[in-house]
Amino acid sequence: MLAGECKTRQGKSSENEIRESGDLFLKYSNVKNSSNVKGALMCASKCLLSLGEFDKAKDAYQKAKSILLTPIQVTRPIVIIDDSEAISMRLKNYIEKLGYSEIHLFKNGKDGLKGYKKILSEHKEPIVLLDMGLPDLDGDVVATKLLKEKIDLQIIVITADEKTTTRVHNTLSSGVSAFIQKPFTIDEVKKAIDVAESEYSLLQ
């Protein structure tokens, strides 16, 4: 295409170069596992249009329009540590609606710590949603242990307590990213995750 553009600017015929480009784009669009079939068809359509082959150009354009691009998947895992199955499932449902696909559920602090370490060993960067009222360990203890594993981890605290209580204050002081108070809405979950993601992006 660049060669064709150069010839056009020089006042020379660029038909051969444009046709070759169009053929290559069409060929690419038919290759199995091509990463951008829609883009190839759109480029082929543009080449064919410039050659005056309107029916072929329209056909390539219609094929391109019919392709729905797969949305980019959010790759960061989410770890939910909460002993309430109802709360965990509600959080999971909300988080899936926000576009996250890898979600891990743990019912107590010890299992959460163990599961988190495994995810970290796989070189992944999770966000942790941590309930304050776990049956085995207090939220501030779990948060401190998590942050010892990775000091810049994003933790979102979930609790029915007021933000001003000593327990919540101690956990927030340990270095968590955000706070969600029960009962919560999907918008509140989204805002907290957005804060965590913003903090993460600043650290990269």
Q: Where are the domains of the chain?
A: 2-66, 78-203
CA angle 181, 185, 97 (to 5 degrees): 125
- Give Dmax over CA atoms of the chain in angstroms: 79
Q: Determine the average pLDDT of the residues in 7-31.
A: 78
**CATH of the domain spanning 78-203, picked from 3.40.50.720, 3.90.1210.10, 3.40.50.2300, 3.40.228.10:** 3.40.50.2300
Predicted TM-score (pTM) of this structure: 0.63
Of 137 and 44, which is predicted with more confidence? 137
Q: What is the pLDDT of residue 36?
A: 74
Confidence of residue 176 (pLDDT cuts 50, 70, 90): confident
Q: Taking the alpha carbons of 175, 179, 182, 186 in that order, is the dihedral positive or negative? A: negative
Question: Does the pLDDT of residue 11 top 80, yes or no?
Answer: no
Of 169 and 152, which is predicted with more confidence? 152
Question: Does the pLDDT of residue 70 top 70, yes or no?
Answer: no
The first and second tokens of residue 160, run together, are 């029915």
Of 3 and 186, which is predicted with more confidence? 186
Q: What letter represents residue 140's amino acid? A: D
